[in-house]
Structure 1
Amino acid sequence: MKTKRILVWFRNDLRLHDNEMLVEAVAKSDSILPVYFFDPRYFEDARVGALKTGVARGQFLLESVAALRTAFQKLGGDMLLVYGKPEDHIKQLAEQFEITEVYHHREVGPEETLISTHVEDLLWTLKINLKHFIGHTLYNKEDLPFPIKDIPDVFAQFKKKTERDAMVKTCFLIPEEIAFVEVEDWGQIPDLKQLGFEWDGVKLDNYADGGEEAGLRHLEILLQEGSAVYQKPIPKPTADKPGFTAKISAWLAIGCVSPRKVYWMVKAAEGRHGTNANFNHMLLGLLWRDYFRFMFKKHGIGFFDEPDFENVFKNMDGAAVIPELENWKAAITGHPIVDRYMEELNTTGFIPHVGRMLVATYLIYVLKIHWIYGAAYFEEKLIDYAPASNWGNWANVAGIGKDVKSKNTFDLDKQMKILEISISDSPSFA
């Protein structure tokens, strides 16, 4: 009797906990074949003067893949690592290992969705099903109080109705035992140089170590800090000192930690310490992540209320160098707070939300440079880059998102005032 083997295609879901795709694959197969593809398109392609993946996120990714591989090895198996496009290898892998079904998490970005379509078409020629899972959001789409097509475009309405009428499901447990397909050569994790990065072997100056265990440990620390700092008076956040910042977004972006795990750990912390503004801030961030993902699921690139968006984007490739843009990237604009945040972005791969709003405001409304250049540069540099959140936030700042009238998105007058004040009232950055 032929055994059932399921290929589990990992993408931005590099964890064992709360992973419905993995749990179902283990339950419905005789053995699984975990696979991760290092897709060269994410390391070789450059557009609009920026790479798709910068060295900081490249390092974080390698650490996260290595951590998941180690977790599988502790369970008696491994994860097959392949350098190449999924659509160039998946058919051969399915034939070689006699795969009966392929599981993967569905993405909402147009490029990622197209890759899934190519793989699905190839597998169809072998009469193998590609099963889609949705594990990147706090709320499953079927648990929302409205169908995708009727999701409110205004975030405040989405938040109100979702919090009132939807429930957050409990997390899936980590499988206690996993049977793995036998593989002679599981492949090697490439280093940064093999992915095309210039790197001297020194650990980059970022705040994050990749991987599920590191993410959960970091979350525990954040919750302790979030409770502790709120038990004593703290200064009002400013552009210079933004206050408590929940730096869990990098692990969320690549799926080392699930949003539901964050939610329930925050709720547990609230049970111990009570609610406070820090915990509310973390939960609000999870809702914003959901909102942008569902907006792109609903509208696609139609989310951008800009005529001929695709051609505008294409025409920017190979365009003449813009000196003001290059100064903005290099953190030498002469504006103290903008340069401070851009330097932080370039060296750590992270800046808080207030910093992102300020540097985006400066690029778009002071330098008068098209927002797409800024979004593309953030795509390269951010260690917590997530397509929907990054491009959605930039669109809101530029005033071409679907929620431009909401008071909860972007207040241009407020941001411009902060920029003006920071020039005259920032002696420490002068």
Structure 2
Amino acid sequence: MPKRIIYWFRNDLRLHDNEGFLKATQNADEVIPLYVFDTRQFEQIQPLGFPKTGQFRAKFLLESVQNLRDNLRKKGGNLLIRQGKPEAIISDLAREWEVEAIYTSKEATQEETDVETSLSKKLKVYNVDFEVFWGATLYHPRDLPFWVSRLPDVFTDFRKAVEKQSTIRSIFPEPISFKLPEGLETGKLPEIYELILFSLFPEVDPRTVLNFKGGETEALLRLQSYVWDTDHIKTYKETRNGLIGADYSSKLSPWLAYGCVSPRQIYEEIKRYEAERGANDSTYWLIFELIWRDYFRFVALKYGPRLFKPSGIQYNLELRWSHDREVFDKWVEGQTGVPFVDANMRELLLTGFMSNRGRQNVASFLAKDLGVDWTWGAAYFESQLLDYDVSSNWGNWNYVAGVGNDPRENRYFNPLTQATKYDPQGEYVKRWLPELANVPAEWIHKISSLTPDQLQKYGVKYSSPIVNTDK
């Protein structure tokens, strides 16, 4: 009997720098690569009524899984695709194919680790080993200069410590080839309507910053383009707060979220660029952002379920949040009457993407100006964002809502101040709010100050602000 290992792909949909999959091919005679569409990840979030994984995320995921299958076929294998509960499907496959072990990537947050625990218990019955590999961050948790339980509550302290005392491990090579057992029923890629009821592939809005397509192949092409072909990385720090266009930031986050590209692969490309073309603040700043991403992953490990509760990781029980559904829906639909907020929310609604600057502003507006339960906003982002990453999303919402690890108490983003600074001519607002196309730049962020005659003159049909933001 050949030694068989199932490699369960999760949020690591790549062949490069994938320690677990590489070791599966080295340690087994036959490897069964597997991806399971966990049906629980496509159910509706209650009481909000939208799917946990929305259509933009689902499209990107389907493309990523298909690309993974294509790349595995080039190695002489294939990818098994199933739908259901991974812990049940994998344990059944393990018994059916008499495998010796299950290898997979390690996750950090509760829903994912609950599945790991459930699967581990089932595998013990069949005497099947279960081995997990950490590969989602720049710094491996074993290389941190402190236990995760002692993680600093201020990012700057974390960053300085790891930069000074820790090293980033080298990437793992792709496996050259592997053998698949004969007779496997590989299964077909589901249609999007099979995952999300009544859903179709979303159309690409011509205003979108980038026509994102899932998969490792596209991820590496984007990395090559942003770093080497265009040299945009050398101005990243100056442009990263942009709002329009493909290249104000790296836009690698959707591929990072599904593990189509490794953060260490990005790091190595940046270091190679610095060696060949020169280092500056911008080349470092992209690494800085990857360290932020690490930090939120380790925060999730440290605080567990507290990350997802309204009281946040601070366990602040004094704050009281509104659950006004009508107000929340206006925020979701970009109908708050605050142009900068509405433009960002409509971009998210129509494309599944929003700039980092926009995310900070709309999150602050929901939590601080409207007083609406921030976990509703985090859940909507989970559904809608192409680049949804559980730790970064919920960690950032904790941060902006004032219940996370922000050293500056009661941080607030004033929409008017922010709009004036980052969209002074109103180009971004007019891009997403065509009803304001004729408003002069001097008034574009102050629509509520226009007289009835001015509103008529500029052809404005736009709602009054639902809350006063002049703070």
The alignment's TM-score, normalised by the length of structure 1, stands at 0.90
> Are 2:216 and 2:255, in contact at CA under 8 Å, matched by a contact in 1?
yes
Which residue is 2:134 aligned to? 134
Instruction: Return 148-157 or 8-17, whichever deviates more.
Output: 148-157
- Give the aligned residue type for 1:7: I
Aligned with residue 374 of structure 2, among 371, 392, 412 = 371
Is the Cα contact below 8 Å between 2:382 and 2:388 reproduced in 1?
A: yes
Name the stretch that deviates more: 295-304 or 113-122: 295-304
**Equivalences for residues 161-310 of structure 1 within 5 A:** 161-200=161-200, 203-205=203-205, 207-224=211-228, 227-228=231-232, 230=234, 237=241, 244-303=248-307, 307=311
1:104/1:133 contact within 8 Å kept: yes
Shift of 1:336: 1.2
Q: Deviations over 1:229-253 (max 9, x none)?
A: 8579977956789982120011011
CA distance in 2, matches of 1:426, 1:219: 30
Q: Which amino acid aligns with 1:417?
A: T
Paired residue secondary structure (2:132): strand
Q: Work out which of the two has the higher radius of gyration on C-alpha atoms and give 1 or 2.
A: 2
How far 1:306 sits from its partner (Å)?
Answer: 5.5
Whole-angstrom CA distance in 2 between matches of 1:22 and 1:424 = 49
Distance 2:266 2:237 in 1: 25
Give the corresponding residue for 2:456.
none
In the alignment, what sits opposite 2:38? Answer: 39
How many angstroms apart in 2 are the aligned matches of 1:120 and 1:381? 31
Whether 1:404 aligns to 2:403 is no
| TM-align CA RMSD | 3.0
Matched residues in 1 for 2:358 and 2:382: separation? 15
Give the match's secondary structure for 2:305. Answer: helix
The residue that corresponds to 1:59 in the other structure is 59
Name the counterpart of 2:364: 361
Task: Pick closer, same or farther for the CA change 1:150–1:242 going to 2, 3 Å.
Answer: farther
**1:275-302 deviation per Cα after TM superposition (whole angstroms, max 9, x unaligned):** 2343233212211111011111122123
Equivalent position SS for 1:104: strand
Q: Does the residue aligned with 1:137 lie in a helix, a strand or coil? A: coil
Q: Is contact 2:4–2:30 with CA below 8 Å preserved after alignment?
A: yes
Q: Give the Cα–Cα distance (whole angstroms) in 2 for the partners of residues 233 and 47 of structure 1.
A: 39
Tell whether 2:92 aligns with 1:92. yes
Is 281-290 or 226-235 further displaced after alignment? 226-235
Sequence identity of aligned pairs in percent? Answer: 35
Q: Which runs of 5+ in 2 are unaligned?
A: 431-435, 437-471
- The answer on whether the counterparts of 2:341 and 2:415 sit within 8 Å (CA) in structure 1 is no
Moved more, 295-304 or 266-275: 295-304
Tell me the equivalent position of 2:17.
18
Paired residue type of 1:31:
E
Amino acid at match of 2:385: L
Q: Which residue number in structure 1 is paired with residue 445 of structure 2?
A: none
Q: Which residue is 1:71 aligned to?
A: 71
Separation of aligned partners in 2, 1:232 and 1:100: 47
Q: CA deviation at 1:118?
A: 0.6
How far residue 14 of structure 1 moved from its aligned partner, in angstroms, is: 0.5
Contact 1:77 1:180 in 2 (8 A): yes
Alignment correspondent of 2:448: none
- Cα distance change of structure 1 residues 106 and 336 upon mapping to structure 2, 3 Å threshold: same
Q: Distance in 1 between matches of 2:377 and 2:237?
A: 36
Offset, 1:197? 4.3
Q: For the residues of structure 2 that align with 1:424 and 1:273, how far apart are their CA atoms?
A: 34
Partner of 2:7: 8
Deviates more, 1:345-354 or 1:384-393: 345-354
Please tell me the residue identity of whatever aligns with 2:43: E
Question: Contact (CA 8 Å) 1:227, 1:276: kept in 2 or not?
Answer: no
Alpha-carbon distance in 2 for matches of 1:47, 1:350:
23
1:331 match:
334
Aligned amino acid, residue 404 of structure 1:
D
Runs of 4+ residues deviating >3 angstroms? 197-206, 228-243, 302-310, 413-417, 419-430
Q: Report the Cα offset of residue 420 of structure 1.
A: 7.4
TM-score, normalised with respect to structure 2: 0.82
Alpha-carbon distance between aligned partners in 1 of 2:153 and 2:230, rounded to the nearest angstrom:
31
Greater RCO (Cα-Cα under 8 Å, separation 6 or more):
1
Aligned equivalents of 1:257, 1:111: Cα separation in 2: 23
- Does the CA-based 8 Å contact 2:296-2:395 persist in structure 1? yes
Q: 2:309–2:375: 8 Å Cα contact kept in structure 1?
A: no
SS of residue in 2 equivalent to 1:292: helix
In structure 2, distance between residues paired with 1:242 and 1:73: 31
Among 383, 389, 392, the residue aligned to 1:389:
392
Q: Is the 8 A contact 1:240 1:337 kept in 2?
A: no
What are the superposed Cα offsets for residues 174-206 of structure 1, whole Å, 9 maximum, x if unpaired?
011212222342000001111124344564446
Count how many residue pairs are aligned between Structure 1 and Structure 2: 421
Check conservation: 1:138, 1:168, Cα contact below 8 A.
Answer: yes
Distance 1:291 1:364, change over 3 A: same
Given that 1:34 and 1:78 are in contact with CA atoms closer than 8 Å, whether structure 2 keeps it comes out as: yes
Worse overlay, 263-272 or 97-106: 263-272
Structure-1 separation of matches of 2:246 and 2:178? 44
Residues 24 and 213 of structure 1: CA distance in aligned 2, closer, same or farther (over 3 Å): same
Q: What is the distance in 2 between the residues matched to 1:278 and 1:308?
A: 32
